[in-house]
Amino acid sequence: MPATQLSTDFHKTMKLDNVNTSLQEEIKLECGVDIELCMECGKCSGGCSNAHIFDFTPRKVVQLVKIGDEETLLKMDALSTCVSCHLCVDRCPSQIDIPRIIDYLREKAHKQGIEPTRKNVQLFNKLMLDYVQKNGRVAETHLMVRFNFKTGQYFKDAEMGRKMFFKGKLKPFPSKVKRIEQVRLLFRDVPARREG
């Protein structure tokens, strides 16, 4: 797991007097997610698809929001590895939408230009959105090849690609949106359109 630079030193006494609740309020306002409903039971984290590779389990993410440790939240590895499977929210006794919080933090980290712990995840997402912005649609094969080249993994999925080629699963000429200007307009005010 890539190390996360913690802004809070978890080995020292945390001064509750210094905790501010603005992040908690911001998340309530912007995402409609009220973390005061959290009962601290940990059910979110026990069933989380990726908790075993997270630096902070979903319950800890909620707790970090409570103590207002935005810096840790924006840098944590869980932002890269949350798979958005929504197991946590549907099992939560209070239906706290943790994936919505994660997406909100991802967006915020991205806008602030904070480097994600797993650059490949963000690179993949950006390359994908580039395709959408350019063609309106994604050509999976092209995306995969481009991703593997950008990350220097020239032969990563070569064997799989060969098999898929023989199954006729790879399309050399991907389809495109005709009125592409409509799609490009959607990206107008979006920082994500910046080249990865």
Q: Which of 112, 148, 149, 155 binds other proteins (CB under 8 A)?
A: 148
Q: Kindly determine how many residues on this chain lie close enough to bind other proteins according to the rule CB under 8 A.
A: 89
* Footprint of other proteins on 27-56 (CB under 8 A): 32, 37, 39-53, 56
Identify which range of 1-9, 17-25, 66-74, 179-187 contacts other proteins by CB under 8 A: 179-187
* Footprint of other proteins on 2-21 (CB under 8 A): none
Q: Which is nearer to other proteins, 17 or 189 (CB)?
A: 189
- Residue burial 52-63, b: 16+ Cβ < 10 Å; e: rest: eebbbbbbbbbe
Q: Which is nearer to other proteins, 21 or 93 (CB)?
A: 93
Site string for other proteins, 61-80 (x = CB under 8 A): -------------------x
Identify which range of 1-9, 17-25, 64-72, 173-181 contacts other proteins by CB under 8 A: 173-181
* Residue 110 in the binding site for other proteins (CB under 8 A): yes
* Residue 57 in the binding site for other proteins (CB under 8 A): yes
Smallest separation, CB 173 to other proteins (Å): 11
